[in-house]
Amino acid sequence: MASGCLGRRLVACLLNVSEARRKDLVEVVAKAALYDPEGVRREGTAVLNIFNDHDYNRSVITIVAAVDAIGEAVLSACEKACGLIDMRDHHGVHPCMGAVDLVPIYPLGEEVGAEDCAEQARAVARGLAERIQGTSAFLFGWADAPLQRGLAQRRKEMGWFKKKGPDLRDIRPDVGSQPIRRFGVTGVGASPYVMNCNVTIDTGDVALGRRIAAAIRESSPGGLPGVQVLALPHEGAVEIACNVESVKGSPPPATTAGGAWPTFSVAGRPYCHAPADLITARVAEMAAREGVGVRGTALVGFTPRECRGLAEFALARGIPEFWKERHRVRM
């Protein structure tokens, strides 16, 4: 890791936008985080990764910066996305609520605390509502003071899990005006790092996928701590799409299937997260009982440690568009 970046108090935003089929548009949104309207580069900001999923029609843009700089970078990207994406024309198999669907801010080390991230998240929510008339947001995690409700709970309250999606008329946003169809509503919050781990099973049987998802999610007996799951049709198969939340405390004993749980800390508090290998093994075991194999596993972005290391590398070497250079640079 590059020691010159250690004082920067780094954070990451895994910005979720409801567009993936027009990759050039998504890159325009990413570049808005890196350059001001005059094209001048924002120092100390980088985009590490852009993940596009055609079937979901959803992209995840990994933006990293110092905590004091992340807000303007993310807000500029959100503004650009709202100008380019119209939810009235959106089609995709992944549930979504807004043109900018999710703005989570995560600390990348000991130097940044919960309230630092929460302040930036709330500022982004307010800024978006002020700059783009008709946008609105709900808050989650550390930003949702004083309740600090998690993203899954807030989504449930908003109707995100309904088969036909939420009814915007029933939503009472925390910030901004009553949601309109063009923009929808945006989830903005802060929490310990959340990974996205997607396991594809070799079947079109969504009902089987839902049974597997129900068995491994945190809320089920014997489920995996911190794991929130959906089963969705994807490229002719079924994807077990997992949000892997970091959980407070020491990791459980290592298992043969999954190995040790990776650990990190935020402001002196220990956290850990379920390893992708363990999630894959659980899915594979249950699918095999039905005679179904696993096609593969995809991480959307990085683990917390990988994100920190790549952020330091990209910023120390001044590589703002790191997603383009990642496979050509030597770490």
pLDDT of residue 3: 40
- Rounded to the nearest 10°, the torsion over CA 136, 140, 142, 148 is 120
Residue range 60-80: mean pLDDT, rounded: 97
Q: Is the pLDDT of residue 1 over 60?
A: no
pLDDT of residue 297: 94
Look at residue 229 and tell me if it is in a domain: yes
DSSP label at residue 324: H
Q: Where are the alpha helices (DSSP H) in the chain?
A: 23-34, 67-84, 114-131, 151-158, 206-216, 276-288, 304-316, 322-325
Q: What is the CATH number of the domain that holds 46?
A: 3.30.990.10
64, 182: one domain? yes
Q: Which span out of 4-8, 72-76, 263-267 was modeled with the highest average pLDDT? A: 72-76
pLDDT band at 4 (very low <50, low <70, confident <90, very high): very low
206, 69: one domain? no
Is residue 89 a contact partner of residue 49, using CB atoms and an 8 Å limit?
no
Look at residue 331 and tell me if it is in a domain: no
Give the angle 255-201-15 at the CA atoms, nearest 5°: 85
Q: Where are the alpha helices (DSSP H) in 194-328?
A: 206-216, 276-288, 304-316, 322-325
pLDDT tens track for 101-132 = 999 999 998 889 999 999 999 999 999 999 99
Look at residue 330 and tell me if it is in a domain: no
Distance in angstroms (rounded) separating the CA atoms of residues 178 and 319: 39
pLDDT band at 254 (very low <50, low <70, confident <90, very high): low
pLDDT band at 289 (very low <50, low <70, confident <90, very high): very high
Is residue 179 a contact partner of residue 171, using CB atoms and an 8 Å limit?
yes
- Tokens for 311, please give them: 């952020």
Residue range 240-254: mean pLDDT, rounded: 89
The number of distinct structural domains making up the chain is 2
219, 141: one domain? no
- Tokens for 69, please give them: 């700089």
| Mean pLDDT estimate for the chain | 93
Look at residue 201 and tell me if it is in a domain: yes
Distance in angstroms (rounded) separating the CA atoms of residues 324 and 298: 19
- Tokens for 290, please give them: 């039905």
Q: What is the CATH number of the domain that holds 214?
A: 3.30.70.670
Is residue 192 a contact partner of residue 245, using CB atoms and an 8 Å limit?
yes
Asked, as a colleague might, if the bond just before 275 is cis with ω within 30 of 0, I would say no
Provide the 3-class DSSP secondary structure of residue 114.
helix
158, 275: one domain? no
Sign of the four-CA dihedral 110, 313, 194, 162: positive
275, 188: one domain? no
* pTM assigned to the model: 0.94
Q: Where in the sequence is the domain holding 272, given as residue range(s)?
A: 194-299
Q: Is the pLDDT of residue 2 over 50?
A: no
pLDDT of residue 268: 85
- Tokens for 181, please give them: 């169809």
108, 225: one domain? no
206, 114: one domain? no
Look at residue 140 and tell me if it is in a domain: yes
277, 221: one domain? yes
Residue 122 burial (CB count, 10 A): 22
97, 201: one domain? no
166, 280: one domain? no
Look at residue 115 and tell me if it is in a domain: yes
162, 244: one domain? no
pLDDT of residue 76: 98
Distances in Å between the Cα of 104 and the Cα atoms of 4, 121, 192, 195, 273 are: 26, 8, 10, 11, 17
Distance in angstroms (rounded) separating the CA atoms of residues 294 and 310: 29
Is residue 119 a contact partner of residue 188, using CB atoms and an 8 Å limit?
no
pLDDT tens track for 198-214 = 999 999 999 999 999 99
DSSP label at residue 8: G
pLDDT tens track for 27-68 = 999 999 999 999 999 999 999 999 999 999 999 999 999 999
pLDDT band at 193 (very low <50, low <70, confident <90, very high): very high
Q: Is the pLDDT of residue 293 over 70?
A: yes
The closest alpha carbon to 243, from 130, 160, 119, belongs to 160
Is residue 87 a contact partner of residue 99, using CB atoms and an 8 Å limit?
yes
pLDDT band at 301 (very low <50, low <70, confident <90, very high): confident
74, 123: one domain? yes
Alpha-carbon Rg for the chain, nearest whole angstrom, is 19
Look at residue 102 and tell me if it is in a domain: yes
Amino acid at 282: R
Sole residue written with tokens 């593969």: 296
